[in-house]
Amino acid sequence: MDYTNLQLEENENILIVTINREKALNALNARTMQELMYLFSNDIPERSLKGVVLTGAGPKSFVAGADITEFMSMADGGGQEMAQRGHDVFFAIERSKVPVVAAVNGFALGGGCELAMSCHLRIAGEHARFGQPEVNLGIIPGYGGTQRLIQYIGKGKAMELMLTADMISASEAWQLGLVNKVVASGTEVEEATAIIQKIGAKGPIAIAKTIEAVNAYFEEGKNGFQTEVEAFGETTRTQDFKEGASAFVEKRKANFSGK
């Protein structure tokens, strides 16, 4: 696929993905969602990556929501199909076998907040703002917000933010557990890259299986504990486990091969 709304830059096996619609505050239109789906379903699995950093173009916005101009057509139907497509895209991100870190460099509202929550970790610039303001438009969050926000900050506070449409600051998002770290504005991608570099030194199979097991806790029809048992068993049969255990005993740095 030719990417028009996504800018990709790979460096030392880390893929930096920038949603490049700065004039529209990087709003998620249909083309952007299509490109994200292809990227995480087809492109990224074919690459040998330590991880992915996802950010927005410009200093103002990570993603300021879905594209409102496209919303207008939903009055005549199609809203359910649009929401389902959004769920499919964000599940593809959440289930990525390599870590995906959101570098939130500004507004993360509506679909932008939902996009950030589908990533495995979130690094926020000090001027970032988060919120689910959909009720201001007479609709509800449609890309997983009613479910993931509860997982991160609990039912009471999530209900308050979704019913009032209030925005919260980066520092409050950190206090609530929505973001992992708050950094100086302009350093979000750098900090996200550093975290992936740290994760990338670990066993890649173990990283993928950890993501799978944690996700299983929240997935309907899955037993997270059983997923953990099976994943643990699978990792103990890998060359990475033998290398990691040997390196520990020999007091040296492990050289993982991903096998």
Q: What is the pLDDT of residues 95-145, one digit of tens each?
A: 999 999 999 999 999 999 999 999 999 999 999 999 999 999 999 999 999
Distance of alpha carbon 209 from the chain centroid = 17
- Which residues, in sequence order, are CB contacts of 206 under 8 Å at separation 6+? 235, 240, 241
Q: Which residues are catalytically annotated?
A: 114, 134
- Report the alpha-carbon distance of residue 12 to residue 213 in Å, rounded: 27
pLDDT of residue 69 exceeding 80 = no
Give the per-residue pLDDT at 75.
63
pLDDT band at 66 (very low <50, low <70, confident <90, very high): confident
- Report the alpha-carbon distance of residue 90 to residue 67 in Å, rounded: 16
pLDDT of residue 47 exceeding 80 = yes
* Amino acid residing at 48: S
